[in-house]
């Protein structure tokens, strides 16, 4: 599965660990950053979100210190539904009820083990559709 991934400096080490842990499951397109040197998170979240918006079947991972900055940035793009997840239950509901296509991880507030569980759950859970589809269709402003 092709997966987009990006982080700021605070999420860089977790991004590296995720890419290594899931190396046999995912084909990565990495939008950066490439070090722990301080950067501006929108410079990485916007290009990833543009790629997700252009590819309806894609999924992605965004990581920053709290997850809030990259989530807010990504959700400015139509057809991007970025969900901040810190445990696998929230990740499952983000997929089942919200058809989230970007999982956002708060690097400073989640263990590496929990991050792996969130990613595994996010990518193995399907959207339920039904009454949730109607709600998801109302997200984008037209």
Catalytic residue annotation? 64, 97
Helix (H/G/I), strand (E/B), else coil: 99: coil
How many CA atoms lie less than 13 Å away from 39 in the CB half-sphere? 22
Torsion sign, CA atoms 62, 45, 70, 39 = positive
**In this structure, are residues 31 and 51 in contact, taking their beta carbons and an 8 Å threshold?**
yes
**In this structure, are residues 64 and 8 in contact, taking their beta carbons and an 8 Å threshold?**
yes
Distances (CA, A) of 12 to 20, 41, 135, 137: 12, 11, 34, 33
Q: CA 62 to CA 69: how far, in whole Å?
A: 10
Q: CA 43 to CA 29: how far, in whole Å?
A: 16
């Amino acid at each position: 599965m092709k997966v987009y991934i990006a982080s700021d400096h605070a999420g860089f080490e977790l991004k590296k660990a995720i890419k290594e842990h899931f190396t046999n499951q995912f084909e990565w397109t990495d939008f950066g950053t490439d070090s722990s040197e301080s950067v501006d998170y929108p410079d990485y979240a916007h290009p990833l979100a543009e790629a997700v918006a252009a590819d309806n079947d894609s999924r992605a991972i965004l990581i920053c210190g709290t997850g809030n900055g990259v989530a807010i940035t990504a959700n400015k793009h139509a057809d991007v539904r970025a969900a901040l997840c810190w445990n696998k239950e929230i990740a499952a509901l983000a997929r089942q009820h919200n058809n989230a296509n970007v999982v956002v991880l708060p690097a400073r507030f989640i263990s590496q083990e929990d991050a792996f569980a969130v990613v595994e759950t996010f990518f193995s859970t399907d959207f339920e559709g039904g009454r949730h589809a109607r709600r998801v269709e109302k997200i984008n402003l037209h």
